[in-house]
C-alpha cells in the first residue's frame, strides 16, 4: 500500500496491441478528452487490486469525492488506511501502530491518485497525453515533460466513461498496475474523509506550523 499511496496509477500495455491511435483531425485533443472524462467523475467507490512484479498482490477499497478527498482501505499483507480531507493526509499503518499526518500535495508525481481526485486540467499540464481506443475502452498514456521525480510514465484506461485501470512506471522502470471494480454508491457518510486517531497509536505530524 506504500506503493499505492505514492504511486497510484495503472494500465494494460497489451491494450496497445489492439488499439488505434486517435486521428489528428479529431475534434478534441487527447488532453481535452482525458480532462472531460476525469471531470465527469465527481464521486467514486471501487474495489481495487494492485499488482507488480516485486510486490505481493494487494486488495482494498477506495472512496473518492472531489475536490481532493479520498479514502483508501487495504487488506493484508499490508493493512493501511489513507485518508485525505482535501487539505491534510493521514496514513495509518496498523502493523506499525503509527499514523503519519502530512499536508496534501497537489503534485501528481508525488500522489498519482490526484489524477482521479484533483483538478484534471491543472494536474496534467506537466504531461504529454496520448490517446488510443478500441471498441470498448479508451486508453490514455501520460509522459512527463520533464524527467524528474520518482515517477515516469502514467496511464489510465476508461470503459463506459469510468476508470477501470490505472498504472505507473517509476523512474527506475518498476511497474505497478491497479485494476478498479467500480461499485454503485449507496451511501457516502460525511465522516468518510475524516480520520480519528485510535487510542495508543503513535502520531507523527509533518504538517508545517
Q: How far apart are CA 113 and CA 99, in angstroms?
A: 19
Place of cell 512527463: 144
pLDDT value at residue 154:
87
Q: What is the pTM of this model?
A: 0.78
Helix, strand, coil proportions of the chain in percent (round to 5)? 15, 45, 40
Q: How far is CA 140 from the centre of its chain?
A: 14
Task: Assess contact for 79 and 73: CB atoms under 8 A.
Answer: no
Q: In a 10 Å sphere around its CB, with 0-12 CB exposed, 13-18 middle and 19+ buried, how is residue 154 labelled?
A: buried
pLDDT value at residue 36:
92
Tell me which residues of the chain have a pLDDT lower than 50: 1-25
Report percent pLDDT > 70 for the chain. Answer: 80
CATH no. for residue 144? Answer: 2.50.20.10
Q: Domain range spanning residue 67?
A: 2-205
The domain total for the chain is 1
pLDDT value at residue 26:
57
pLDDT value at residue 205:
94
pLDDT value at residue 24:
38
Amino acid at each position: 500500500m506504500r506503493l499505492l499511496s505514492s504511486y497510484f496509477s495503472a494500465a494494460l500495455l497489451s491494450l496497445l496491441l489492439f488499439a488505434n491511435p486517435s486521428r489528428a483531425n479529431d475534434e478534441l485533443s487527447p488532453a481535452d478528452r482525458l480532462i472531460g472524462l476525469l471531470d465527469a467523475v465527481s464521486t467514486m467507490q471501487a474495489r481495487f487490486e494492485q499488482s507488480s512484479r516485486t510486490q505481493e498482490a494487494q486488495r482494498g477499497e477506495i472512496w473518492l469525492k472531489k475536490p481532493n478527498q479520498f479514502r483508501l482501505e487495504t487488506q493484508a499483507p499490508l493493512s493501511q488506511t489513507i485518508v485525505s480531507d482535501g487539505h491534510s493526509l493521514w496514513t495509518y499503518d496498523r502493523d506499525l501502530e503509527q499514523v503519519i499526518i502530512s499536508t496534501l500535495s497537489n503534485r501528481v508525481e508525488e500522489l498519482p491518485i490526484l489524477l482521479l481526485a484533483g483538478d484534471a486540467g491543472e494536474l496534467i499540464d506537466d504531461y504529454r497525453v496520448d490517446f488510443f481506443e478500441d471498441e470498448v475502452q479508451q486508453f490514455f498514456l501520460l509522459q512527463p515533460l520533464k524527467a524528474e521525480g520518482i515517477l515516469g510514465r502514467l496511464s489510465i484506461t476508461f470503459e463506459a466513461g469510468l476508470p477501470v485501470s490505472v498504472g505507473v512506471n517509476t523512474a527506475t522502470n518498476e511497474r505497478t498496475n491497479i485494476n478498479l471494480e467500480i461499485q454503485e454508491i449507496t451511501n457516502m457518510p460525511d465522516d468518510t474523509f475524516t480520520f480519528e486517531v485510535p487510542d495508543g497509536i503513535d502520531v507523527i505530524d509533518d504538517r508545517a506550523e
